[in-house]
């Protein structure tokens, strides 16, 4: 079924003047009135289009402004996070660097009594190797101390055969200083830091500084992510508002446009009807009504005949495509050699399949109101 359009009478009648019927023959007066209506309708369609485009532009501008506002807020939030966390992260990194420097100045350790502790554990993996001793062609490393050079007597394993001796002095890297074996060795007296206070305080300060850097970096990341989420949510909300407003605007526009198009159609059909009815000037009112109904029926039948058959057109008087085609051909023949009698016959053949529909009844209100205002005569259909 065709969309049912309610045509607003006030729109139809607004903006055109009426010439009194006694100022000219009725056909010319009616023709002038509907030409004027058609002109007013076309102007209204132009104004509607301009209004629609202007309102869409306004919605777009509002979204752009909302997006810019969200971006500005996002940048401010990022700047706030940077101002808050960047100095703290920088300070924590500096503390880590200073602690590492101080640790490296206090990371010398001496092997205490009971050096066999080194050979029976993996402790040697956590302390720094001493330079290998050279005995002729032999290069010896401390036992269980991973070396970087091959030792002839041990192939390419890089292990030597000399045990760690009490009094040997080496160093421990910061990454190994907190290992349980190292700490247990210190507790047992097998490893003796030459500066225990510096060794522990700087090691702990370095570890804490790294933890502070990680915590502050994570907090900064959360703040920045929250700023991004806030920005995205704001834009999404503004976009949703625009989409909803645009949907309402589209509905109103399509309804108004359909009304004006139907009004335009009514005016065009009225002009055709006036031309045909002018053949019967003495009975113009009735001839006009018959001609208008004929033009409407002919147009509707033609639309169905020209369209692909879907089975949707199930009017009581038009129940098959064959009948539609016959009516279309019949109507075209009448249109080429028009007479009120033949038009009446065509209208009777079509019946009220179309004239009972809301589209026709709504357009009829505009038609009859315009006709009455122009001629002071009420049309009868």
* Boundary-marking domain end, from 161, 194, 227: 194
Examine residue 345 and state whether it is found in any structural domain, yes or no.
yes
Q: Say if 353 falls within a structural domain.
A: yes
Residue that is written with structure tokens 């210190």 in the block:
186
Q: Are 130 and 144 in contact (CB under 8 A)?
A: no
For residue 82, tell me if it sits in a domain: no
Pick the last residue of a domain from 175, 194, 213. Answer: 194
Is position 285 within any domain?
A: yes
Number of domains present in the structure of the chain? 2
On whether residue 70 sits in a domain, the answer given is no
For residue 118, give the nearest of 210, 184, 71, 49 by alpha carbon.
184
Query: In this structure, are 133 and 39 located in the same domain?
Result: no
Do 353 and 264 sit in the same domain of this protein?
yes
Angle of CA points 253, 258, 263, to nearest 5°: 125
Q: Are residues 43 and 158 in the same domain?
A: no
Q: Are residues 275 and 341 in the same domain?
A: yes
The answer to whether residue 200 sits within a structural domain is: no
- Domain membership flag for residue 114: yes
pLDDT of the residue at 12: 35
| pLDDT for res 355 | 87
Domain containing 136: what range?
A: 107-194
Same structural domain, 116 and 41? no
Residues 121, 14 share a domain: no
Is the full-model pTM beyond 0.85? no
Pair 369, 251 in one domain: yes
Last residue of a domain, one of 149, 174, 194: 194
Q: List all residues 6 or more positions away from 144 whose beta carbon is below 8 Å from its beta carbon.
A: 118, 119, 124, 159
Tens of pLDDT, residue by residue, the chain (381 residues): 343 333 333 333 333 344 444 434 689 999 999 999 999 999 999 999 999 999 999 999 999 999 999 999 999 999 999 999 999 999 999 999 999 999 999 999 998 886 555 555 566 678 888 877 766 566 666 666 654 444 444 444 444 566 778 888 999 999 999 999 899 889 988 899 999 999 999 999 999 999 999 999 999 999 999 999 999 999 999 999 999 999 999 999 999 998 898 889 899 999 999 999 998 888 999 999 999 999 999 999 888 877 765 555 555 445 566 777 888 899 999 999 999 999 999 999 998 888 888 888 888 888 899 999 999 988 888
Residues 127, 190 within the same domain: yes
* Statement to judge: residues 251 and 190 lie in one domain: no
**Rounded Cα gap, residues 260 and 241, in angstroms:** 28
Does residue 341 belong to any structural domain of this protein? yes
Orientation of helix 284-306 relative to helix 358-375, angle to 10°: 150
């Amino acid at each position: 079924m065709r969309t049912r359009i309610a045509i607003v009478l006030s729109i139809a009648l607004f903006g055109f003047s009426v010439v009194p019927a006694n100022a000219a023959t009725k056909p010319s007066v009616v023709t002038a009135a509907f030409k004027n209506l058609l002109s007013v309708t076309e102007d209204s369609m132009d104004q509607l289009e301009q209004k629609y485009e202007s309102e869409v532009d306004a919605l777009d501008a509002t979204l752009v402004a909302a997006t810019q506002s969200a971006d500005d807020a996002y940048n401010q939030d990022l700047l706030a996070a940077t101002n808050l966390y960047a100095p703290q992260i920088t300070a924590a990194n500096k503390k880590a660097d200073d602690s590492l420097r101080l640790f490296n100045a206090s990371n010398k350790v001496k092997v205490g009594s009971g050096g066999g502790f080194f050979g029976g554990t993996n402790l040697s993996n956590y302390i720094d190797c001493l330079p290998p001793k050279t005995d002729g062609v032999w290069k010896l490393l401390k036992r269980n101390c991973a070396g970087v050079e091959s030792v002839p007597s041990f192939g390419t394993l890089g292990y030597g055969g000399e045990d760690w001796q009490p009094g040997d002095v080496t160093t421990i890297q910061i990454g190994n200083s907190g290992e349980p074996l190292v700490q247990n060795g210190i507790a047992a007296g097998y490893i003796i830091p030459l500066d225990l206070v510096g060794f522990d305080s700087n090691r702990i300060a370095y570890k804490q500084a790294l933890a502070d850097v990680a915590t502050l970096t994570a907090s900064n990341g959360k703040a920045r992510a929250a700023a991004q989420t806030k920005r995205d949510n704001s834009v999404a909300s503004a976009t949703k508002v625009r989409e909803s407003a645009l949907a309402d605007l589209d509905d109103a526009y399509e309804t108004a446009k359909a009304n004006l198009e139907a009004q335009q159609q009514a005016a065009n059909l009225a002009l055709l009807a006036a031309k045909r009815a002018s053949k019967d000037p003495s009975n113009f009112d009735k001839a006009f009504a018959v001609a208008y109904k004929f033009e409407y029926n002919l147009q509707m039948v033609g639309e169905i005949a020209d369209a692909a058959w879907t089975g949707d057109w199930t009017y009581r008087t038009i129940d098959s495509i064959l009948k539609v085609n016959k009516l279309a051909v019949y109507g075209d023949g009448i249109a080429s050699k028009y007479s009120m009698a033949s038009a009446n016959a065509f209208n009777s053949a079509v019946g009220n399949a179309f004239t009972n529909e809301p589209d026709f009844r709504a357009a009829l209100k505009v038609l009859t109101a315009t006709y009455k205002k122009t001629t002071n005569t009420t049309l009868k259909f």
